[in-house]
Structure 1
Amino acid sequence: MSDVYFGTDLFSELDRLQRQMSSLFGGFPSSLRSSRFGTFPQINIGTTDDSIEIVAFAPGVDPSKLEISVDKGLLSIAGQRTAHEEPSTEGVRQYAQERFNGAFRRVIELPQQADPDKVLARYVDGCLLVSVGKREASRPRAITVQ
């Protein structure tokens, strides 16, 4: 038992502080590992027994111009999205644009069990699908009791 006594539960106080900070900055990700709000491309990361699966939502990107690399446990996705050519309409001035155009780079920290020699990438329907295999030693295995 500790000699230090807090009048309240320390963890509930930290939770309360985090909620206050979240409401102060409204709408931003709550995780320290989350990227800044509005980054492109948005990504989903998941795992299976055999691999780490990354989906980058990148519609309008030329797949031949995507650069994917793995170095020191970091997966890097870089490329450029060009502006969509709109039919010329005389007298129309644009005052808002929500679609991202320009160069981008996303860097994702891979877990230790990722094998950089087993990376597969494909581009399907505006999504970049990257599969990173896991090292053989990190895969779950059943142990038989004798």
Structure 2
Amino acid sequence: MSDLTFGADLFSEFDRLQRQMASLLGGFPFSIRSGRFGAFPQVNIGSTDDSIEIVAFAPGLDPASLDVSIDKGLLTISGERKPVYPDKPGDDTRAYAQERFSGSFRRVIELPQHADPDKVTAQYTNGCLSVSMGKRETSKPKAITVQ
């Protein structure tokens, strides 16, 4: 026989244990290269032969509220996401569940050495911030003719 006893709500105990482990370990990364758990905005990073492509998923933002900068090989995306239901004077509505993040955010992404900070474009469309950055000419492959 086991000396272990469980309360009536076993699943809430598992949920509590998972939250404790996540706070202890700083969250569970989805891949080796992923950042901290719950980082906002989430990003996809890829490259072509000529450019580095970064897509930040940030729906519901005013493009004018986004700040994008590059300094010392770091791309910084920052801004503020307003709450969906702003507080109204005299309103006694209380939220009992809130899953959407609101408030200030800042995301810093380390760029590869061959990124050219002088060749950058950024565009916000349908909730996605797309940043395209050219590669330095010296990093592109060159064909050498054998004589």
Place the TM-score, normalised by the shorter chain, in its bin.
0.7 to 0.9
Instruction: Kindly indicate whether residue 72 of structure 2 is the aligned counterpart of residue 72 of structure 1.
Output: yes
Aligned length, in residue pairs: 122
- What is the deviation of 1:120? 0.4
| Aligned: 1:144 with 2:109 | no
Determine what percentage of the aligned residue pairs are the same residue: 69
- The answer for the alignment partner of 1:118 in structure 2 is 119
One-letter identity of the residue aligned with 1:113: H
Q: CA deviation at 1:91?
A: 7.7
Amino acid at match of 2:135: K
SS of 1:46's equivalent in the other structure is strand
Q: Distance in 2 between matches of 1:117 and 1:98?
A: 38
SS state at 2:145 partner: coil
Paired letter, 1:44:
N
Structure 2: where are the runs of 5+ without partners?
1-23
Q: Which runs of 5 or more residues in structure 1 are unaligned?
A: 1-23
User: Scaled by the length of structure 1, what TM-score is found?
Assistant: 0.74
Counterparts of 1:38-77 in structure 2 under 5 Å? 38-77=38-77
RMSD: 2.5
Cα distance in 1 between the residues matched to 2:68 and 2:47: 19
Tell me which amino acid in the other structure corresponds to 2:100.
R
Partners of 1:79 and 1:50 in 2: CA distance:
29
Instruction: Sort the Cα spacing of 1:28 and 1:92 in 2 relative to 1 into closer, same or farther, 3 A.
Output: same
Moved over 6 A (4+): none
Q: Distance in 2 between matches of 1:61 and 1:101?
A: 10
For normalisation by structure 2, the TM-score amounts to 0.74
Per-residue CA deviations over 1:77-120 (Å, capped at 9, x if unaligned) read 0011001137x9x8864222110100000000000000011110
